[in-house]
A and B are shown apart, each in its own frame.
Chain A
Amino acid sequence: MTPRQRLVLFGVAIAGLAACYLWAFAGLPGFGRYPGPYGPAILSRVIAQTNATGVVSAVNFDYRGFDTVGEEFILFTAAAGMAVVLRRLRGERERSPVDEARDRALPPTSGAVRMPALLLTGPIVLIGWWLASHAQTNPSGGFQGGVVLATAFVLVYLSGEFLTFRRISPVAVLDAVEAVGAAGFVAVGLTAVALGFPYLYDYLPLGQVPGAVSSSGTIALISFFVGLEVAAAFILIIGELLEQTLLVRSG
Chain B
Amino acid sequence: MTSVAAATPYAVPNALMDTLQVTLLVLVAAGAVAVVRTRNRMRLVLMLSGYGVLLAVLFFAFQAPDVTLSELTVGAVVLPVILLLAIAKVRKRAE
Contact = CB atoms under 8 A, between A and B. Distances in A.
A154 B78 CA distance: 9
A116 interface: no
Interface in B48-78: 65-66, 69-70, 73-74, 77-78
Given A32-B18, A238-B81, A139 B89 contact: no
Contacts of A151: 73, 77-78
B5 to A, nearest CB: 9
Contact of A245 (B21, B73, B89): B89
B69 A131 contact: yes
B86 interface: yes
B88 interface: yes
Contacts of B93: 250
B66 A244 contact: no
Contacts of A33: 1
Majority DSSP secondary structure for residues of B touching A:
helix
Interface in B77-95: 77-78, 81-82, 85-86, 88-89, 92-93
A91 to B, nearest CB: 13
Given A147-B73, A244-B85, A139 B78 contact: no
Contacts of A148: 69, 73
A168 to B, nearest CB: 17
Interface string A111-152: 000000000000000000001000000011101100110110
A47 to B, nearest CB: 14
Interface residues of B, number: 21
Given A148-B73, A154-B77, A238-B78, A32 B3 contact: yes
Nearest to A244: B89
B72 to A, nearest CB: 9
B70 A143 contact: yes
B70 A144 contact: yes
B86 A241 contact: yes
Interface in B1-18: 1, 3-4, 18
30 contacts: A30-B1, A32-B1, A32-B3, A32-B18, A32-B21, A56-B66, A57-B66, A139-B65, A139-B66, A140-B66, A140-B69, A141-B66, A143-B70, A144-B66, A144-B69, A147-B70, A147-B74, A148-B73, A151-B73, A151-B77, A154-B78, A237-B82, A238-B78, A238-B81, A238-B82, A241-B82, A244-B85, A244-B89, A245-B88, A245-B92
